[in-house]
Chain A
């Protein structure tokens, strides 16, 4: 059996949930492929994986895959996931969010999960808009761009999701694009292997809403835009600030060791019980 066929049979609930809701050409499908390949590589059994999502086009993803899945409410995926992790620390809990989920309505949870360094992997599809509800502005809509609620021009400045995660304390932060599918595989594998709060930001396109409003062309053209505006972390280190002006970095942005929430908590318990000395 071809590898791709095996993966499809193994991981997709193709008999129940297809056709999917995504527009033809949407980047979320590419991200789903990377996710499945990365999980397959880790060797986790399907039953040990929990996918938790919020609401949105991205949030629909867990419906299609054969893991434990929890489709929560818009913005609350990380908090549901925190509960799961506390109750069943053995499970690998992966949280799938859109940019709206992660840094608009759920922004508070995002910075606090990172600060707490709880052992979760957050996968964020950043398509610069609220795709599902019709292309309204999100906190990642770039300044000066259009959305259905900033129909002439957005006057606010966008969050840089990865930098936010770094500053808030995530131990692993990687950024990729759906153009760079292979990079996504490797970023996800690394994130899954990390203990603590890990983040993979995926720059994607919503050609149906954001692309159309901003005349950015087809899905393919928007992926070419991703190719032309991204620079690897390694290459960026050799470039001048001037050359990096309209570029964003892809690759591993942070990979650091910090004690994870559960381990710290266990330590305190032992001290409190007196079974271990401080």
Chain B
């Protein structure tokens, strides 16, 4: 919006964009106008009236000229009644008074009304001390009550395991109801009755059926909604508050941890900071609980003489360094492989690969441990614009059209899902969701288009969308060589009709979807692990790059393709070269000029050959070619594909080092286990899905015996003779910012309060348009398609160590379409056995018509259910057989 208007608030004249609300203009003018019901993510409502101000316009005389008073100042015609600032937009020349007798009296009156029925609960109310009503009653209210009659009262309710409702304290601002609707898309709350009897509750007064995010609690300006898990635990002034970055998804929400003594008592959003402000999903809000779990490792463990026994840190470091040196000497450095690391902070990721490449001399480094096929290190970079300025999360919610490819964002990145819902409600965003299941975003209430592709036809779908996009010609704004390549791609791809057969989506629907995407001014393509961990990942990501250029989501200047990685710092792992074929900053080790700064800094000649990717490392270890594994922050045994092969690999390896917080299934098989510090116990940077660098603070000191992973890497590097001497993560970050293309010039101080998105002055990789064809592979066979994906309540092996999340998640279930279940003779709740090429799992079945017939859906991340026992996927996915069993054995 270009037009600006001049307004005067309490005598201060400022210029603001036309259409600004008075409350926002006042904030700009640094005048405090209190609000209750207004909220930056919600449309104006005007329910509470606390924001009333006096509004006037210059008096106009004959000829519509302003009338000036005796003192030469224009005379103001004040409106006879006060106006609500949160619903009134400013006009040019408008005057606003918040401190006049009229405004003060009106506000006092509103305050008195709000308190007519309000209980004097402050001492026992969990909001007390951070309650806006309390604050404003002090600031603007009367110091006595004229209320002589009995107050109306309600009975308090537990709305499920998270939300406690005390309706007596409610000021009926409707924030909770609106937030649940506008952001969460859940419509779980409503107002019963009218007027003074208004009561917020669930529709049927049963426990809330929603995402249990607790955002209603967060936005409630009073203590009407409070969090049951935090009930009476502390008062706000007891808590030290530290802002960290949530470790549960790449949205990278800022989480404000409240710490009393050494214990984290709660997590909240940040109100005015971070990409999320007040928002947190259920994982961000309750997932911190593992930090204070009594099961945490309290010292390193060493396997000497058969079993793991506690050891001192120095002892473990010496042992690990000596064994690594021996193995490198005996079998060459390529017999060592480093796995995992996308849950680490950026600095630790950098050190991890520096240790591998610079100290040990191996390039077998890969963070993508769940991948089932090799994916070039720069594939995702190119698909997301190669360092061109990229979409922000805010822009995502303002896009005209968003195409979500393959992932259920409810599980993978709840905040991204919420932003899309917000965009759909408020900014006219149209959603296209390509997913075999009817995931939340594909529900009809969001007015989008669901491309219900057949499982296994992902590549065909993306190619068909590209073909349909190119039918209208090559988009404007692409570099010349891209234009030419797209033109020849168009002829190679054929018509969308071919794709229609295979995907089960009509050619018309494909064309419409492509047209919407191409036509939208602001657009977004979102993809994630469903494609990067797909057996055809390399072709799929290439196909997404093709589609990006073909639809105009990638242009010479901007990139509107977002990669929502599997972990909160997956983007950082790619950037820091936790891939076997790229150094930090996506530098190709074969490029002598580009790699020189690294060689100089590290004082080592680098191995130029690309190393092994995670699936190749697994294979090599199982065959005995890789002898030593270092697995960091990764429950590899349960999450990498093909359990049988993993077991074989771990048996054959001479040395397995694991860094973890708990004695995980992987750690139990290790020779050296380092006890690591949690996200709350260390400082560092994480890079979120919009490539934003975010610094998180250390909230508490590490658990006794545990150390940040960076310290562990440094100790082992020194044990191997390196002369590393980083004292803080900042030291490491300085080195990163000096060496890494894309990060150059960034400073540690600049990362607060909100870090920048990294971009590169010149693209870090040239565009590559190529036909995306999956290598001919063994057919997946017959049987049902095994669908898996993220789930809301659990993410990763840490999430099930707390109390709330596992309780909310319940037990793992196999979800089947009712028709499919009937054909197999399976009823709701029956125990079924799912058998794949490698083995089977047993669990209870649930009928769910969001799952397509011909497939079975089991989310990953459930502790008791290891899907990799089914074997590795082949072709375009994994096929399984499902049958009812008599045995009631779950998850054996």
**Chains A and B form a bound pair:** no
